[in-house]
Chain A
Amino acid sequence: RKEVEQDPGPFNVPEGATVAFNCTYSNSASQSFFWYRQDCRKEPKLLMSVYSSGNEDGRFTAQLNRASQYISLLIRDSKLSDSATYLCVVNGSGAGSYQLTFGKGTKLSVIP
């Protein structure tokens, strides 16, 4: 099982749609979870951290299910500017706990 696996994508959705991305991770000792966003030919940027209780930031909602080792990202009312690749990120364990492992990313295209 890959360390961090994401929906294969790409997701092509119309403006205004709600879209959800899923991610599973293999390391049960991981304690930190993030969603990063990467625009085409640009660097990754933190979108939001993911907390056990779930958290929301405007149109974006992140959920964590530790028992299933599953993370999700929900985007409501999609905008054209949301088009990007979304990277699921978790930290390692033990000596590598500050080391981040990135998923391959899910590409989202929001179409007018």
Chain B
Amino acid sequence: DTAVSQTPKYLVTQMGNDKSIKCEQNLGHDTMYWYKQDSKKFLKIMFSYNNKELIINETVPNRFSPKSPDKAHLNLHINSLELGDSAVYFCASSQVASYTDTQYFGPGTRLTVL
């Protein structure tokens, strides 16, 4: 009965590869997010989708492409992985795209690029 789930939990891959991380929420929320937490522990927003539509697209390389097949899923595809992409990626969701709304985070995907 996990509220926000991500797969895989760990991902180790070589530079130049393409990989995807999947996220699903069973809370019935309309809004989903991707965050990156780097080695310095800063948690930064990357993307946000509201009802399958992109509403936030921060300055991230276009090697990162989110895709929302339905409002319960927000996947993250990364092309041509680089060493600097190594980080923990968190998916989150909130009921609506409102600043008062609590965001619920998934357990994170720890990506290591060798």
Which A residue sits closest to B105, measured CB to CB?
A43
The total of chain B residues at the interface (CB under 8 A) is 22
Number of A-B pairs, beta carbon distance below 8 Å: 48
Interface residues of B (CB under 8 A from A): 31, 40-45, 48, 55-56, 90, 97-103, 105-108
- Check if A18 is an interface residue, CB within 8 A of chain B: no
B98 touches A87 (CB 8 A): no
Which B residue sits closest to A97, measured CB to CB?
B99
Collect the chain B residues with CB atoms within 8 Å of residue A97's CB.
Answer: 99
B105 touches A98 (CB 8 A): no
Within the complex, the shortest CB–CB distance from B13 to chain A, in Å, comes to: 20
- Check if A96 is an interface residue, CB within 8 A of chain B: yes
A44 touches B43 (CB 8 A): yes
Q: Is the interface of B mostly helix, strand, loop or mixed?
A: loop
- Check if A1 is an interface residue, CB within 8 A of chain B: no
Collect the chain A residues with CB atoms within 8 Å of residue B31's CB.
Answer: 98
Q: Which interface class (under 10, 10 to 19, 20 to 34, 35 or more) fits A?
A: 20 to 34
Bound together, the chains give a CA A98 to CA B56 distance in angstroms of 9
A105 with B103, Cβ < 8 A, contacts A43-B108, A99-B56 known: no
Collect the chain B residues with CB atoms within 8 Å of residue A99's CB.
Answer: 45, 48, 56, 99
- Check if A60 is an interface residue, CB within 8 A of chain B: no
B41 touches A105 (CB 8 A): yes
Given A41-B108, A42-B107, A44-B43, 19 new contacts (CB under 8 A): A32-B100, A43-B106, A43-B107, A44-B90, A85-B41, A87-B43, A91-B99, A92-B99, A98-B31, A98-B48, A98-B97, A98-B99, A98-B101, A99-B48, A99-B99, A100-B45, A100-B103, A102-B43, A105-B41
Which B residue sits closest to A33, measured CB to CB?
B99
Which A residue sits closest to B31, measured CB to CB?
A98
What 0/1 pattern do residues 72 to 112 of A give for CB contact below 8 A with B? 00000000000001010001100011111110110000000
Collect the chain B residues with CB atoms within 8 Å of residue A105's CB.
Answer: 41
Which B residue sits closest to A102, measured CB to CB?
B43
Point out the residue from A34, A100, A101, A104 that lies within 8 Å of B41, measured CB to CB: A104
